[in-house]
Structure 1
Amino acid sequence: MPLWAKGGIAVMLLLASQFHLWNRLSSGSVFAPEFPRPIVIAFNWAFGAIVLLAMLQILIDLGVLAASATQHGWVKPPESLRYGAAVLAGVLAAAGVANALRPPLLKDVEVAIRDLPPQFDGYRLIQLTDLHISRLYPEGWTDEIVDRTNSASPDLIVVTGDFIDGSVAMRRVDVEPLRRLRARDGVYAIPGNHEYFFDYASWMRHLTDMGIRMLPNAHAVLTRDGGQIVLAGVTDLSAVDTGDPGPDLDAALQGAPASAPILLLDHQPKRAREAAARNIALQLSGHTHGGMIVGLDRLIALANGGFVSGRYEVGGMTLYVNNGTAMWPGFALRLGRPSELTRFTLRRMR
């Protein structure tokens, strides 16, 4: 390649590699890229392509080392293999961003709950999580998610954290459609780690004013014709870093009726074994985005107690780790780990 072409590509790679620095300069936070949406999409594609290309180049190099060791001499791969890896990385990144931007389809999951009152057999709740409302997922996208959620006719809607990326001033218009969420027993939620990056107290007030009942280390008792279930929520593990109360399951369950089955909302799944020890029937979590990319999900599982996507049985408790309704706009790629709009139907354990 001529020098001018190499130089141009090098400059573009350098600019794309500093995506998160540009985010910080645009908003004061690495988590909120305040650029027009097409630019945020382009940055996610370019940065994703760099990451995927690095992974592919490492695989090629490992293959070269293995081949050289077995043939007792240096094996030089054809240049076309390197160029092919670059093209493949670009195509995969484009597919990953497209998958991340696609509004999720409704996914149905049945969960058997021990000691579930017969009045709640067939009870339907929808879990939203990791909405990451931002320049990448703006008002129009939020509006569509609300329409899809309401059309599923849930008895209850829960949001397990990471509503936003940005301050209340930045996201006021984009989150407004959440005010239209409707369910027979209301909308309940907990904070995720991203709420603590953008003035946690302000967001808790704003979301509450929108009609969303927050459960930070608290619970609510849901009743139906004399039957009861407990819906409990805890704060996020990152709360202590900002001087806010960390997750406290004891406080969340204080005063809860002892005979009612407990559903727990906890943004991060890594504490599931502790919840199971407290006789929780069902824990709903998010945070992992399902691992985002097949293969990468194994690494993300290691950082989350081994839990990354889907249903797990943990000490007699069902844990469900939702892939997320959306994604953090700083690395919005999905390959083999689709987003979810998840409707749970509760059933009595036979």
Structure 2
Amino acid sequence: MPSTLVITRFLWPLPWPLVAKIVIAVLMLVASQFQYWSKLSSGSIFAPEFPRAIVILFNWAGGAILFLAVMQLLADVALTALWLAPGRTAPMAAEIRYAMAAIAIILAGVGVYNATRVPSLKDVRIEISGLPPQFEGYTLVQLTDLHISRLFATAWTSAVVDRTNALDVDLIVITGDVIDGSLAMRRANVEPLRDLRARDGVFMSPGNHEYFLGYQDWIRHFAEMGMHILANDHVVLQRRGGSLVLAGVTDSTAPATGMPPPDLAAALAGAPVGPPVILLDHQPGPARMAASRGVALQLSGHTHGGMLPGLDRLVAMGNSGFVSGRYTIDGMTLYVNNGTGIWPGFAMRLGRPAELTRITLHKKF
């Protein structure tokens, strides 16, 4: 694990008293077990029940250890190459190690700040073939991966709701992973979502975290708050004689909790033929199947944009190559949102900013 590498290859060679190195090593080991402490605090690694400052501290420490481990690996490769070259080189100077530590600490701090701030507005223009003229310039906000928790609590949620409502859009869609915690834990934190307003309403499709943390309780609660749940279902949006189909599917993790798997055929059953279909699917992986069914636009989240350069390539591998932004697939547009929030177990963003995403629809000519 990264902490072991940092302790053995970075910390131990430093010219410090043994007691100091032991104390720092213990602190690193404690910080590296954040998910374990989270499970002890709530019964789930997805819901760390610590004060927000402690959650931020864990993420900062874990991020610093990760960045330091990467730098140490690169340094070891360089030192090995020098060792194999003619002549021997001196061990890495302590001053270089101090510089590495400072860089890691700063990067982690910036990464946590980027991950936890209220996201800025991102405007996205999407063109759709066959868009009815009545829906030209139609606006919607996509919220996804809010991960409302001790990290993204009531004040943060209120700020997101205020910014969203200020945009005065036609539609609000939420593509899953709204919460991290049970209804008993998060009831007060999600309450600001009740105030979301759009002319055609607020629609939600579930994400994997809803299934991990009490799906039925949460879905009932969200519906009571005024959200329209699209779980293998659709609605027809109408405007002055023009129509759009808005569909949503369940998450691929649903069967593990005894709930129905995603079923696009069921979601579109009975939908009118002709109007463009907008699909809410938390995970972007099945996008090619959606394209084959004639979906015009799929909105997804789940990946958090890959979070960090390099890590985004690993995330893409687990999501059929889709990780952030716009993709064109057999005539369908897939938009993968970086996320409004992020999982509090790894709250780190560098170069992959959170999004408050306003999408404007236009007809493709």
Does residue 52 of structure 1 match 2:58? no
Deviation at 1:7, TM superposition (A): 1.5
The code of the aligned residue for 1:85 comes to: M
Please give the root-mean-square deviation of Cα atoms over the aligned residues, in Å.
1.1
Provide the rounded CA distance (Å) in 2 between the counterparts of 1:45 and 1:188: 34
Match of 1:92 among 86, 107, 110: 107
Look up the match of 1:114: 129
Structure 1 runs, 4 residues or longer, greater than 4 Å off:
72-75
Deviation at 1:337, TM superposition (A): 0.6
Provide the rounded CA distance (Å) in 1 between the counterparts of 2:66 and 2:191: 34
Provide the rounded CA distance (Å) in 2 between the counterparts of 1:75 and 1:217: 64
Look up the match of 1:201: 216
Look up the match of 1:279: 294
Provide the rounded CA distance (Å) in 1 between the counterparts of 2:282 and 2:350: 22
Look up the match of 2:7: none
2:345 partner SS: coil
2:344 partner SS: coil
Look up the match of 1:261: 276
Look up the match of 1:244: 259
Q: Which stretch has the larger CA shift, 175-184 or 42-51?
A: 42-51
In the alignment, is the contact (CA less than 8 A) between 1:68 and 1:75 conserved in 2? no
1:284 partner SS: strand
Deviation at 1:69, TM superposition (A): 3.5
Deviation at 1:155, TM superposition (A): 0.1
Provide the rounded CA distance (Å) in 1 between the counterparts of 2:255 and 2:247: 20
- Structure 2: state its 5+ residue gaps: 1-15
The code of the aligned residue for 1:28 comes to: G
Provide the rounded CA distance (Å) in 1 between the counterparts of 2:277 and 2:72: 48
Provide the rounded CA distance (Å) in 2 between the counterparts of 1:309 and 1:326: 14
Provide the rounded CA distance (Å) in 2 between the counterparts of 1:62 and 1:301: 26
**1:167-182 alignment to 2 at 5 Å?**
167-182=182-197
Q: Which stretch has the larger CA shift, 270-279 or 166-175?
A: 270-279
In the alignment, is the contact (CA less than 8 A) between 1:67 and 1:75 conserved in 2? no
Match of 2:150 among 135, 142, 160: 135
Provide the rounded CA distance (Å) in 2 between the counterparts of 1:70 and 1:264: 57
Look up the match of 1:210: 225
Look up the match of 2:204: 189
Provide the rounded CA distance (Å) in 1 between the counterparts of 2:63 and 2:256: 29
1:189 partner SS: strand
Look up the match of 2:355: 340
- Structure 1: state its 5+ residue gaps: none
Deviation at 1:333, TM superposition (A): 0.6
Deviation at 1:179, TM superposition (A): 0.3
State the number of aligned residues: 350
TM-score (norm 2): 0.94
Look up the match of 1:349: 364
Match of 2:97 among 72, 76, 82: 82
Q: Which stretch has the larger CA shift, 184-193 or 75-84?
A: 75-84
2:141 partner SS: strand
Look up the match of 1:13: 28
Match of 2:312 among 280, 283, 297: 297
Inter-CA distance 72–219: structure 2 relative to 1 (3 Å threshold): farther
Provide the rounded CA distance (Å) in 2 between the counterparts of 1:26 and 1:70: 51
What are the superposed Cα offsets for residues 89-116 of structure 1, whole Å, 9 maximum, x if unpaired? 1111111001111111111111000100
